[in-house]
Structure 1
Amino acid sequence: MPMAITDPAQPDNPIVFVNEAFQLLTGYSREECIGKNCRFLQGDNTDPVAVAKVRKAVEAGDDIAIDLLNYRKDGSTFWNALYLSPVRGEDGAVQFFFASQLDVTERVESQRRIAGQKEQVDHEVRLRTADLEALLEAQSLLLHEVDHRVKNNLSVIGSLLRMQIRGAEEPVVRRALRSTMERVDAMAAIHRRLYQADDVRYFELSSFVVNLIQDAVNASAYNSLTLDSSVQRTVLPSEKATSAGLLINEVLLNLFETYLPLAAVKLDCHSDGKTISVTIGTRLLSKTPHHEMPAISAKLIARLAAQLEADVAWDRTLDGTSATIRIPVSSNHAET
């Protein structure tokens, strides 16, 4: 691993040692490095904010890990994953700074490509959503054309996300993309049910929830996972379908987190004529502490619930979790 040591006791904190790996990475010989401040590796496109953070850490005698754009002797650039830490003497004073470098150019460029692809997807979604909203206001004779376009749009988005997942190297990036893909898949399932229904004014929530949970059970890594369900046929106005379907899907994503050793799932779906109540509960094979819900999930659940004027109640224990979603509806919509 490329390494360098600097001496803060000397003016301008110069380099006093570099190893062979450092020389190979930068193209500079040991003689060309000794006595210089590490800033000689910076160039026109090096982020001054990142440089200021390094300077502040040195002045405070703190550790820092940061990505910097550096320049080799031949003028080519590379992304440097810099880790800098002070080496203190017995009296606690900083005697040297130890710096390790790692060429992470491929990783940084991959992240930038993914960010660009995400922007492309977001742009495509905005364009297609506007297009769909206009089409849905048209006459009923355009219904089949709308159906065809929505399928194509969701297919394009799903394909782009799958491409991103295959190209992503960081586990956290793959996890975020996979969650987004599952949300798109949920939207596709809602759309398919709406346009296959005999009456597109209504959305059968009960059968959607059953299929969604059954798919999650079938895809689980636990072969012995069982599903116990008590379901009453319930429907919503179609304008609430997407929000309700995505809300239930988001709750389910958190109940089926991969770190949870699932033993059984229980579903209860019923209506009292004014409110549709959906309760999904899990029982675990062993006592397991719950991780904090991802911020994006918590925000989505809150916003979708607000759109529906619904509430979501959680009951978490070491033995399992249950979530109850209550969605208010008019009496003639709750059950037909």
Structure 2
Amino acid sequence: MQEKDQHRTDARNAGNRLVAGHVSEDPFAAAFKATRMPMIVTDPNQSDNTIIFCNEAFRKMTGYSDDEIIGRNCRFLQGPDTDRETVSKIREAIVAGQDVAIDILNYRKDGSTFWNAVFISPVRDEAGKIIYFFASQLDFTNVKSREADLAAARHKAEAEVAKHTANLRSALDARTLLVHEVDHRVKNNLLTMASIVKMQARVTRDDGRRKTLMSVLNRIEALSTVQRKLFTLDDVSKFDVSEFTRELVTDLVDTTGRKDIRLSLDLSPLLVPAVKATPLSLIVNELVGDAVRRGLSDGGGDIHVVVRRLNGHFLIRIEDTSEPVEPDIENAELGRMLLEASALQLGAEIERKREGQKAIVEVVLLVGDHQENAN
């Protein structure tokens, strides 16, 4: 009994040292405590890799108090119907010091079960030694009961995210690594949302509702692309408009499967402050998506995209030449509202014009030299 109490005391002391390293205004500390996503930190240097810190969301999800959690290994959430093979996979990943994303049946304090989507990542110091394991959870019991194939789709999304985020810089200290792990969860959540919307569209029989869901999915995937781009840069304060545009436009056109929609790009390297990434991504997504839809007539069409710096301004220009297509009224109205809101947020000007069958849209935004680096 005394040894057990000592283990819990050691775990709590380790958690206190972790918290002491983060001032109250630290974005990691604020995000970790306030987020509605259950999160914990374990210490592999403690006996049995015990939990040294958890947030309020984790306590609410499991029903246990802080005193009942700190100093224990996460296996206390397992029960009679927890899959042993799943437990083994988690254990093997931890022993190997690898990321793991897996679904497991867990038990609350009152004995009730819930499906838990668990994401675990090791946190290393500058020497490469694992000093913590960071874990987040997601109770997706309701979704699990309605969508039997949700887990497979989410695993596919996780694999895609892992491919693009595999190389975190090893020289970062523990606090920076933990902050990056929170950012990693944002991308995971966007991809999980996209998977859920995609599955709902798949089972929806009403064409109107399906089109609406696919419209929402398109915007979520655009934002997910932004997050992926932001956090694969060495300098996460900057956002490369050209690289994002190249990837988004190519994906949009390739998704149609049409060979008669001809795409040409004139993209100059252009970095802008990362705070402008979300509204800029929505603008590019709406304008190119609109051009693609106009190119879906029987004769196809040409789409030309320009991103260029112009004397303290930068220009996004979308040209398309195609037969006019009757627009979807609701989707067109949503696109207009998103464009106007994003332009207002950026202080950008949007100009539209037609030259015969050619539709031209130009977006001009002022970016000071101290904010932008044209490489």
Residue 283 of structure 2 is aligned to residue 247 of structure 1 = yes
Residue 276 of structure 2 is aligned to residue 265 of structure 1 = no
Residue 324 of structure 2 is aligned to residue 281 of structure 1 = no
Q: Could you say what secondary structure the match of 2:269 adopts? A: coil
Distance of aligned partners of 1:291 and 1:158 in 2 relative to their CA distance in 1, 3 Å threshold: closer
- Contact 1:290 1:318 (8 Å CA) reproduced: no
For residue 147 of structure 1, what is the aligned residue in structure 2? 183
- Contact 2:294 2:324 (8 Å CA) reproduced: no
Q: CA deviation at 1:221?
A: 4.0
| From 208, 211, 223, the counterpart of 1:175 | 211
1:203-234 C-alpha deviation (Å, 9 max, x unpaired): 00011111211112222342132222222111
Q: CA deviation at 1:316?
A: 3.8
Q: How many residues align?
A: 199
CA distance in 2, matches of 1:153, 1:269: 30
Report 1:91-240 matches (<5 A): 140-240=176-276
Distance of aligned partners of 1:149 and 1:170 in 2 relative to their CA distance in 1, 3 Å threshold: same
CA distance in 1, matches of 2:274, 2:268: 18
Unmatched 5+ stretches in structure 2: 1-145, 147-173
CA distance in 2, matches of 1:302, 1:152: 28
For residue 299 of structure 1, what is the aligned residue in structure 2? 337
For residue 358 of structure 2, what is the aligned residue in structure 1? 320
Distance of aligned partners of 1:320 and 1:291 in 2 relative to their CA distance in 1, 3 Å threshold: farther
1:177-212 C-alpha deviation (Å, 9 max, x unpaired): 101101110111100010000110100001111121
1:297-321 C-alpha deviation (Å, 9 max, x unpaired): 1111110110011122122466232
- Contact 2:316 2:363 (8 Å CA) reproduced: yes
- Contact 1:273 1:330 (8 Å CA) reproduced: no
Q: CA deviation at 1:147?
A: 2.6
Distance of aligned partners of 1:156 and 1:224 in 2 relative to their CA distance in 1, 3 Å threshold: same
Distance of aligned partners of 1:141 and 1:287 in 2 relative to their CA distance in 1, 3 Å threshold: closer
Distance of aligned partners of 1:273 and 1:237 in 2 relative to their CA distance in 1, 3 Å threshold: farther
CA distance in 2, matches of 1:259, 1:298: 19
CA distance in 1, matches of 2:343, 2:175: 31
Distance of aligned partners of 1:289 and 1:141 in 2 relative to their CA distance in 1, 3 Å threshold: closer
Q: Give the share of equivalent positions with the same residue, in percent.
A: 26
Report 1:16-95 matches (<5 A): none
Unmatched 5+ stretches in structure 1: 1-112, 114-137
Distance of aligned partners of 1:149 and 1:289 in 2 relative to their CA distance in 1, 3 Å threshold: closer
- Contact 1:289 1:318 (8 Å CA) reproduced: no
Q: CA deviation at 1:167?
A: 2.1
1:155-175 C-alpha deviation (Å, 9 max, x unpaired): 221122012201222212111
Q: CA deviation at 1:291?
A: 6.3
CA distance in 2, matches of 1:263, 1:323: 16
CA distance in 1, matches of 2:359, 2:211: 22
- Contact 1:288 1:319 (8 Å CA) reproduced: no
CA RMSD in angstroms comes to 2.4
Higher mean alpha-carbon deviation, 200-209 vs 218-227, is at 218-227
For residue 6 of structure 2, what is the aligned residue in structure 1? none
CA distance in 2, matches of 1:182, 1:313: 24
1:103-125 C-alpha deviation (Å, 9 max, x unpaired): xxxxxxxxxx9xxxxxxxxxxxx
The residue type equivalent to 2:362 in the other structure is T
The residue type equivalent to 2:303 in the other structure is V
CA distance in 1, matches of 2:175, 2:191: 25
CA distance in 1, matches of 2:328, 2:202: 26
- Contact 1:281 1:321 (8 Å CA) reproduced: yes
CA distance in 2, matches of 1:155, 1:287: 33
Larger Rg: 1
